[in-house]
Amino acid sequence: MWWLLVVIWVLCGIETYGRLFAYFQREYAVIADENYKSDIIFCAIISLTGPIAFIVSFIVKHRGYGYKFR
C-alpha cells in the first residue's frame, strides 16, 4: 500500500514542476532565457515536496500558464 503513496507523491511532483516552470518561463518571458537553468533547478527542488507544493500552487494560482517541461 505504501507504493500508492509514492505514486501519488511523484504525480503531484510532476504536475507541480510542469505548472511552476511554465509560470516562470511565461510570466517573466523577458528574462526567461537568462534564468532557464536556475528555473529548472528551482522547480525540480520544489517538486520534491510533492503534494505540499501541489496544494500551494493551487492557492497561489499558477494555473493559467499551462505546462512546460523543457
Is the pLDDT at 46 greater than 70? The verdict is yes
Which residue, 64, 67, 7, is CA-closest to 43?
Answer: 67
CA angle 24, 40, 63 (to 5 degrees): 35
Looking at 28-50, list the stretches that DSSP marks H as alpha helix, in order from N- to C-terminal side. Answer: 36-47
Cα–Cα distance for residue pair 65/4, rounded to 1 Å: 29
CA 44 to chain CA centroid, nearest Å: 7
Percent of the chain with pLDDT over 90: 67
Give the per-residue pLDDT at 57.
83
Per DSSP, 10 falls in state H
Task: Enumerate the domain spans of the chain.
Answer: 2-60
Q: Is the predicted pLDDT of residue 62 greater than 80, yes or no? A: no
